[in-house]
Structures are given as C-alpha cells and as structure tokens.
C-alpha cells in the first residue's frame, strides 16, 4: 500500500513543527521510521512544499517525487485536494492505477507500526471504503458547550443531568491514520456506510499542534525509551 505523509512547511501554531527536533530527531522521522516497519506499506511518499523538509525526509528513507504546489500548502488549502493532486500525478507518471492509500500525519509521532498494520488489516478484512483512527473521549460529549464572547454558555446539545457512567462513550479522530479507497476521495468524501474506526489508546494518540502537545509527546517518548 502507498503511504502519503503530508508535511507542509508553514505552521502558525508551532513553527517548523514537522521537522522540529523531538527527543533527538526531526518529528517527521518517527512517522517515516514506523511506516518503513509496516508489513504492508510498499512506498512512502512525503508531500511537501518545503525543500528543507524534503531533504530531511529523504535522509530517513522517504521518497519525494515532486514538490507540492504552493496553492495546496496554504492555511486554507483542503487536505483532500492535495490527496487528489498527489494520487493523480503519481498515476500519470507511473501509468499505474492507485486504488487505495494510507495517510500518516507527521504530527502523530507516537503511532507505532503495529497500529498502521492493524488498521490496514481492518481495512482489508472489512472491504472498507475508509478506516480512520479514533481514540476514546474522557468525558461525555454532552458536557461540551460553546462559550460566547461574554463568557455565557451556549448549548451544543440538550442539557443532561446524568452521571458520566450513564452516558454513552464517544470517540474522536486522533489524526494518526487515514486509509482511503481512492474512489471515495475522488467523490470528495472521507466516510461512507463502509467506513470503520481503528481505535487507538490515548497514550499513542497525541496530535501535535501546540508547544504543550510537543512537550507532552516528548515526555511520553522518553518514558517509552
């Protein structure tokens, strides 16, 4: 299976986060290394607009067949447009059909090869259109509220006075693993009635967006070692 690692150069919340040194090596290296350990991944492509990221990714064993166009690397660019562009360009250059692929974000450095392989096995066993990694929410989603500019509560859901144990457990996407059938992506969808969740533990579900996320991931990596 083809793996795409999307890693644009611009990042407002945590500058250069994709190659920021995390516990001794660039953050993107963790994703490349685990992808290389997978039993099912046959090609690892890094999609980036940055020559610096491309150079580092190549040094860890990823392939950079082309640089991502600037218009697909802005803050407002949609990830799905980049996936379509990448797959179409790869198929055109190789003259081979690509019917499925996996996306591994570099901001999930705690994900393991065993997660990647288990998610791919779920995808194949279910004959799925997509498999996306999720992790358990600690608190009932019904407790969530919007807060207005003057700090008043604005309901998202109908109020409930139930104890936590009485509410149904919910899950949220952790950003770690996305497996897609290309026909689904071409129709600009991530989910169908043949989509399934690969459930991951919270300790491997950090999605780094802030310095606090980064420091927590570094702590967990040191603890793992």
Write out the DSSP string of the chain. Answer: -EEEEE--S--SSSTTGGGSEETTEEHHHHHHHHHHH-SS--EEEEE-S-HHHHHHHHHTT-B-SSPPPGGGSSTT--HHHHHHHHHHHHHHHH-----EEEEE-TT-TT--HHHHHHHHHHHHHTT-SEEEEEEE-SS-GGG-EEE-TTS-EEESS------GGGSPP-EEEEEEEEEEEHHHHHTT-S--TTEEEEE--GGG-----SHHHHHHHHHHHHHH-
Domain count, the chain: 1
- Evaluate whether residue 40 is within a structural domain: yes
pLDDT at residue 211 above 80? yes
- Evaluate whether residue 96 is within a structural domain: yes
Predicted local distance difference test score (pLDDT) of residue 158: 85
- Expressed as residue numbers, the domain containing 199 is 2-135+171-224
- Evaluate whether residue 8 is within a structural domain: yes
Predicted local distance difference test score (pLDDT) of residue 157: 87
Predicted local distance difference test score (pLDDT) of residue 10: 76
pLDDT at residue 1 above 80? yes
CB 202 within 8 A of CB 176: no
pLDDT at residue 23 above 90? yes
What are the tokens at 130? 């997509």
47: pLDDT confidence band, cut at 50, 70 and 90? very high
Mind listing the pLDDT tens digit for each residue in 140-173?
A: 888 889 999 999 999 998 887 777 777 889 999 9
124: pLDDT confidence band, cut at 50, 70 and 90? very high
pLDDT at residue 49 above 90? yes
CB 32 within 8 A of CB 60: yes
Predicted local distance difference test score (pLDDT) of residue 178: 98
- Evaluate whether residue 198 is within a structural domain: yes
Predicted local distance difference test score (pLDDT) of residue 193: 97
Predicted local distance difference test score (pLDDT) of residue 154: 93
Q: Tell me what the pLDDT averaged over the chain comes to.
A: 94
- Evaluate whether residue 56 is within a structural domain: yes
- Evaluate whether residue 143 is within a structural domain: no
Closest CA to 101 of 22, 3, 33, 175: 3
Instruction: Tell me what percent of the residues of the chain surpass a pLDDT of 90.
Output: 83
Exposed / middle / buried, residue 127 (Cβ in 10 Å: 0-12, 13-18, 19+)? exposed
- Evaluate whether residue 163 is within a structural domain: no
Closest CA to 19 of 62, 68, 53: 53
CATH, residue 95: 3.90.550.10
Predicted local distance difference test score (pLDDT) of residue 188: 97
The better pLDDT of the pair 225, 203 is held by 203
pLDDT at residue 7 above 90? yes
- Evaluate whether residue 180 is within a structural domain: yes
């Amino acid at each position: 299976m083809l793996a795409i690692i999307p890693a644009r150069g611009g990042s407002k919340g945590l500058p250069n986060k994709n190659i920021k040194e995390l516990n001794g090596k660039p953050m993107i290296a963790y994703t490349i290394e685990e992808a290389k350990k997978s039993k099912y991944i046959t090609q690892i492509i890094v999609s980036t607009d940055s020559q610096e990221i491309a150079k580092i990714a190549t040094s860890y064993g990823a392939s950079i067949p082309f640089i991502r166009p600037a218009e697909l690397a802005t803050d407002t660019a949609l990830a799905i447009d980049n996936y379509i562009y990448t797959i179409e360009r790869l198929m055109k250059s190789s003259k081979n059909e690509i019917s499925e692929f996996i996306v591994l974000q570099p901001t999930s450095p705690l994900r393991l090869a065993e997660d990647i392989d288990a998610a791919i096995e779920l995808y194949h066993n279910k004959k799925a259109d997509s498999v996306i990694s999720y992790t358990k929410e600690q608190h009932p989603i019904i407790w969530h509220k919007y807060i207005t500019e003057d700090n008043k509560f604005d309901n998202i859901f109908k109020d409930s006075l139930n104890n936590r144990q009485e509410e149904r457990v919910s899950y949220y996407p952790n950003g770690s693993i996305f497996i897609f059938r290309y026909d689904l992506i071409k129709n600009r969808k991530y989910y169908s009635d043949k989509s399934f969740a690969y459930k991951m533990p919270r300790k491997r579900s950090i999605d780094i967006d802030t310095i606090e996320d980064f420091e927590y991931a570094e702590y967990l990596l040191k603890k793992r070692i």
